[in-house]
Structure 1
Amino acid sequence: MTAPTTDPVTATGDPRATVRRAAYVSVDPGVPVFGRKGSSVHVQAVLRELVRAGVEVHVVTTRRGGDVPADLAGIAVHEVPVARSATTAEREKALQVADGRVGALLDTLRAAGPLDLVYERYSLWGRAATGWARDAGVPSVLEVNAPLVAEQRTHRELVDEAGAERCARAAIGAATAVVAVSRPVATWAAERAGSRSGHVHVLSNGVDTARITPAPAGRAPASGAARDAFTVLFVGTLKPWHGLDVLVDAFADVRRRVPRARLLLVGDGPEREAVLDRARALGAGDAVTSTGAVAPAEIPPLLHRADVAVAPYPALDDFYFSPLKVYEYLAAGLPVVASAVGELPGALGHGSTGRLVPPGDPTALADALVDLAREPRARTVLGARAREAAVERHDWSVVVDRALAHAGVTTHTAVGAAVGAARPGEAHRG
């Protein structure tokens, strides 16, 4: 098996074919294309870059989600119905039947005009799109965000595991290029690619640096906080694998040493009440603000209320994530304190844009936060480096162009090359 390659990548050789008309396929009903989930934000980010480049985009999905955002209004949405089911086994079969309809839909799209690209977000029962693209001679990108077979078996319920494995192998094996969000995910995909494991590449998540920017000078303090408050920010679903217990313990320590400290929790989830109860029990409840669930459009102003952002993940055996939140922190010009696990050291430039601490260690996390509370100059330097890294390496325009390069195609505006011209001076903000 050939080891998956790691970006950055530079296209070489013959000029790449131009993408003018593309199909984006997502048949995972757990991912509402126009929803609020992190996966939905990811989908919309890729769509947005294609639209910005002038590509005519057709979305094929089993779950539309909500209304199409105004800047994506030109996208055509083709919904694939999924039959109702009473059991998990019936649900799995219904999703396979739904995926089987994708080929005919792509035939219809191609009959109306040439398709230059099929871009699919890997789903547990999706195999038709990349197979159709291979047979039609159309370049395809399969984006793999998680080892879904193992994830479904471990955290939910999976009846036909062998069938799910066959779908994974078929989809991965047929794609022109497979882009995985982390090295563990790429390894998982390469193991299922057979002789085509060399077509699997590591490509981390990205961020829209035009939408998320550093706070303007003289930003307002967090609600209820003094103007000189030191605000620590966490964004994400409030679930156990985000290390929220460690965060609260660390923050209570920070609060004792930095009385002006505040903790802003953005997001909702099953751990919300437990987190707030823990903060109250430790005497820090009055310094914690929890926003609950918010729409993606509400995230930028909340980032502007922070001085430091955190990603306190525990030491998970299967840490295969590429957290969107971290790239949003960077784009906002925030210094980041994160656990030294998985892809996070690389995302933070091994300490050049933030501080790395041992996972599961509230004392180390608190010490890093207190140091930054007491060193505003260090926060400024780290924040400027964070913004520069976000623009130059993690902007979605760069990420999408790299994905397309692996499939041998590009957009007619040369997305990656255009980022500097489209956003002049951005690398020096922060």
Structure 2
Amino acid sequence: MPRRTPRPQRITIVSRIYTPEPSAASLRLQALSRELARRGLHVRVLTTKAPSGLEVADANETVSRWPVLRDRAGYVRGYLQYMSFDVPLFFRILLGRRADAYVIEPPPTTGAVARAATWLIRRPYVYYAADVWSDAAQMTGAAGWVVSVVRWLEKFSLRGAAADLVVSDGVGARIEALAPGVDMVSVGHGVDTDIFAPDGPRIDDAPDIVYAGSMSEWHGAGVAVDALAIVMRTDPTVSAAFIGQGADKDALQRSAEAHGIADKVRFLSSMPAGEAAAWTRSARVALATLRPGQGYDFAVPTKLYAALAVGTPVAYSGPEPLRTMVAENGLGASAAFDAEEYAAAITGLLRRSDGTAVPHLVAWAHRHVSARSVAERASDAVQATAASRQRVRPRAERASRD
């Protein structure tokens, strides 16, 4: 009797944010979905209904979208907003078509709900630990009990996973401290080098300087506005644009007004990745910042990698080890978290940059931070998790829901 060909593995990706919403998580997860599909796996995405005004193109993907609460900026951010996704998610996993493995994107509330649901249906999950949420909550000044709850939920999510995908050694070290002994797989941090490429549309009358990405407390983008005020006093012809959302955006706009540079600094809303790429490749200098000393020094602003992928040099202000990485690899200029020093770094880059793509930067990004290579490593871990589940699945279960 001929041996029956095993069916393709089924994977479900769970995330409150997915394309077309512009974010590092959206691009990272879509790259993972495409890589798994390229390998012949059946992939389904459980996510949210996209905000109005964003075009949804799910033609080549199986995406299940659920309406959720959003904040005033249109984000699923905040405890009520998370609950509006997490509570229905429990039943979407429990009652939906079962996968061989699930990939869970934070926040930890989603991780905790997914752990409970997947335990009930006896399926493994992989937790994509791109950040340490409890550290971020502590940094933003959240109440002590809130930080404690988030930390407990994060440990619960990490410990229940068959594997935890980590994006850097720094994140891995923090996770090991939080949940010693968990099975971690280092996959790296990347950007879509097909979208963020040196060739493509450019912006007419583009600003000289672009900051494209989140403006959260831990980014500390206020130092960029302070530095730009110094740069623009020296050269009033310099212009800049900040693209994106975040808790600090209103404060940054007020700071620009207080410095008297509001007419030279545009603040734009989040936009699809392709448009953000066009703005970044059109600029002479891209900005990236990270506030030091907040317990989050291990983070990597994805906007830094995106800029390099389009060939735009980066002016980075923040803690090590990114300052050394930028300096030693000739990726732009780096400075301490100080407005005067940062202004000097920006000015030096402006003198050397004419707005054309720098081939060395593009090549470095393709070697080190390509989303495709990150997706390949993540897919290996997801496939291994699904395969281990298939090997131990009882015969009776094979004949049931599958």
TM-score by length of 2: 0.74
Residue type of the alignment partner of 2:319:
V
Answer yes or no: is 1:355 the counterpart of 2:295.
no
Moved more, 402-411 or 179-188: 402-411
Aligned partner (choices 366, 369, 376) of residue 394 of structure 1 = 369
C-alpha change, 1:207 and 1:72, in structure 2 (3 Å) is farther
SS in 2 for 1:355: strand
Residue type of the alignment partner of 2:285:
V
Shift of 1:209: 0.7
Aligned to 2:205: 222
Residue type of the alignment partner of 1:368:
A
CA distance in 1, matches of 2:135, 2:203: 45
Map Cα deviations across residues 139-164 of structure 1 (whole Å, 9 max, x no partner): 64211133334544664568687765
Shift of 1:179: 1.5
Shift of 1:232: 1.3
Aligned to 2:227: 250
C-alpha change, 1:163 and 1:270, in structure 2 (3 Å) is closer
TM-score by length of 1: 0.70
C-alpha change, 1:249 and 1:186, in structure 2 (3 Å) is same
Where does 1:63-102 land on structure 2 (aligned, <5 Å)? Answer: 63-66=48-51, 69-70=56-57, 73-77=60-64, 79=66, 98=88, 100-101=90-91
Shift of 1:21: 2.7
Shift of 1:99: 5.7
Aligned to 1:328: 306
CA distance in 1, matches of 2:55, 2:266: 31
Answer yes or no: is 1:47 the counterpart of 2:33.
yes
Residue type of the alignment partner of 1:200:
M
C-alpha change, 1:262 and 1:18, in structure 2 (3 Å) is farther
Aligned length: 368
SS in 1 for 2:239: strand
C-alpha change, 1:34 and 1:212, in structure 2 (3 Å) is closer
CA distance in 1, matches of 2:220, 2:65: 39
Aligned partner (choices 35, 39, 55) of residue 21 of structure 2 = 35
Aligned to 1:187: 173
Answer yes or no: is 1:58 the counterpart of 2:35.
no
CA distance in 2, matches of 1:280, 1:164: 36
Map Cα deviations across residues 205-250 of structure 1 (whole Å, 9 max, x no partner): 2111111111569x66535x7xxxxx11111234444333322232
Answer yes or no: is 1:339 the counterpart of 2:317.
yes
Shift of 1:398: 0.6
Shift of 1:32: 6.1
CA distance in 2, matches of 1:287, 1:92: 37
Is residue 216–residue 247 contact of structure 2 (8 Å, CA) maintained in 1?
A: yes
Aligned to 2:163: 177
Map Cα deviations across residues 150-198 of structure 1 (whole Å, 9 max, x no partner): 544664568687765554334322323212234443233223444x33x
Shift of 1:45: 4.0
Is residue 81–residue 98 contact of structure 1 (8 Å, CA) maintained in 2?
A: no
Is residue 68–residue 85 contact of structure 2 (8 Å, CA) maintained in 1?
A: no
Is residue 335–residue 354 contact of structure 1 (8 Å, CA) maintained in 2?
A: yes
Answer yes or no: is 1:148 the counterpart of 2:133.
yes
CA distance in 2, matches of 1:77, 1:297: 23
Structure 1: 5+ residue stretches without partners: 1-16, 83-87, 226-230, 412-430
CA distance in 2, matches of 1:317, 1:407: 32
Is residue 106–residue 129 contact of structure 2 (8 Å, CA) maintained in 1?
A: yes
Shift of 1:20: 4.5
C-alpha change, 1:103 and 1:304, in structure 2 (3 Å) is closer
Map Cα deviations across residues 94-122 of structure 1 (whole Å, 9 max, x no partner): 8876565365246x325xxxx3x421113
Is residue 239–residue 269 contact of structure 1 (8 Å, CA) maintained in 2?
A: yes
CA distance in 1, matches of 2:148, 2:258: 47
CA distance in 2, matches of 1:248, 1:286: 13
Aligned to 1:104: 94
Is residue 137–residue 147 contact of structure 2 (8 Å, CA) maintained in 1?
A: no
User: What percentage of aligned pairs have identical amino acids?
Assistant: 22
Aligned to 2:395: none
